[in-house]
Amino acid sequence: MYIDDEIKKTVLDVIDSGWYVKGENGKLLEEEFARFCHAKYGISASSGTAALFLAMKALDIGNGDEVIVPSFTFIATVSPVMLAGATPVFADIDLKTYTMRPDEVERLITKKTKAIVPVHLYGHPAEMKTIMDIARDNDLKLVEDACQAHGAMAFGHMVGTIGDIACFSYFPSKNMTVAGEGGMITTNNEELAQKMQMMKDHGRKDRHTSTLFGFNFRLSEIHAAIGRVQLKHLPDWVDARRKNAAHYTELFKGADGIEIPEEMGWAKHAYHLYVIRTDKRDGLAKYLKEKNIATGIHYYMPVHKQPYILDNYPEVKLKNTEFCAERVLSLPLDPQISFEEIGHVVDEVKKFLSG
Ligand SMILES: Cc1ncc(COP(=O)(O)O)c(C=O)c1O
């Protein structure tokens, strides 16, 4: 995680100011992040999960409603739907982008469907053109889970401006962070923006009057101030991630036994993660660990298989999701990794696979 002297000074400035919540930094981060996404409004929140819950509540999603979500994602895509009282309905994914398949979404629509939540997984956007058409034709709301996709684009549009609402996470592992917990919502809809601003602050229209459901989902000033400094670097970091991912891809060209990430012609991948797929995933992960190369698995257990969820969905089978969960492996990638380090990782992966 990137921390520099400017960030340290910013934190001290906020401490010295004595203004810790509901201040200028929060407001400015909302404006600046919305500008980065080319969105009209930004609403800061205490986490990406909180942002997704606010989106559900702002769209009046609740009891009796169904929301179509992928299962191949972090559980926080789904739990806000459930907390709002709605039923998640799981769509399978595309094997190239790892994002929800539009034909699956169409298949799952019922009279109860109220919204679709595509996830721009690993930083690659979901196929938003067809998903938008499906949403429009069926009068459904669209909430982008962009928690992993700061800086990604689909069909010439920044993620965060495509659906009715988009949600971002500033968790420390993300493309930008607030060095703690934090999130952001973007929307072009003024009414929804105002509603979520109120809902994240107890539904208050003024200090003493709550006119809407609400809770405390505010982002604190220290985190907002850190986020503002990080945001200045974000465009360069996304470029560096893309350059490093391209280097991996170049070195892996022609390698047998693995699938490497692909960027669709209509997409700009933000490369939150560089994820390969291989039948020998567990052996490869073990081998790389022995060589001191840290890897991750996103995700080992799809959401519909989580013990907490499984009881309600024992019959759900998602072929591609389950296939990928057994085979994906995230290789080291951040803006700072050197070409030498990437070369070393690729050599070791190839060595293992040819052994
Ligand atoms: C796809 C996805 N959705 C939602 C979240 C939730 O974000 P947060 O951890 O900030 O609550 C995350 C991040 O962890 C995520 O990766």
Nearest ligand 1 atom to the CA of 182 is 10
> How far apart, in whole angstroms, are the C-alpha atoms of residue 74 and residue 37?
23
Q: Tell whether ligand 1 has an atom less than 6 A from the beta carbon of residue 169.
A: yes
341 Cα–ligand 1 center, Å: 28
pLDDT tens for each residue of 254-269? 999 999 999 999 999 9
Residues of the chain with pLDDT > 90, as a percent, come to 97
pLDDT at 310 over 90: no
Chain length of the chain: 355
| Per-residue confidence (pLDDT) for residue 16, from 0 to 100 | 98
Task: Write the CB contacts of 64 (distance below 8 Å, at least 6 apart in sequence).
Answer: 86, 112
pLDDT tens for each residue of 54-88? 999 999 999 999 999 999 999 999 999 999 999 99
Task: Write the CB contacts of 63 (distance below 8 Å, at least 6 apart in sequence).
Answer: 85, 86
167 Cα–ligand 1 center, Å: 9
pLDDT at 187 over 90: yes
> How far apart, in whole angstroms, are the C-alpha atoms of residue 135 and residue 130?
9
pLDDT tens for each residue of 199-247? 999 999 999 999 999 999 999 999 999 999 999 999 999 999 999 999 9
pTM, two decimals, is: 0.98
| Per-residue confidence (pLDDT) for residue 2, from 0 to 100 | 87
| String of DSSP letters for 39-73 | -SEEEEES-HHHHHHHHHHHTT--TT-EEEEESSS
The pLDDT-based confidence of 311 (bands split at 50, 70, 90) is confident
> How far apart, in whole angstroms, are the C-alpha atoms of residue 181 and residue 224?
10
Helix (H, G, I), strand (E, B) or coil at 160: coil
> How far apart, in whole angstroms, are the C-alpha atoms of residue 148 and residue 141?
21
C-alpha 343 chain-centroid distance: 28
pLDDT at 349 over 90: yes
Query: To test ligand 1's pocket by mutation, which of 44, 99, 169 has the most ligand atoms within 8 angstroms of CB?
Result: 169
> How far apart, in whole angstroms, are the C-alpha atoms of residue 277 and residue 279?
7
Q: Tell whether ligand 1 has an atom less than 6 A from the beta carbon of residue 29.
A: no
pLDDT tens for each residue of 82-114? 999 999 999 999 999 999 999 999 999 999 999
> How far apart, in whole angstroms, are the C-alpha atoms of residue 33 and residue 17?
23
Q: Tell whether ligand 1 has an atom less than 6 A from the beta carbon of residue 47.
A: yes
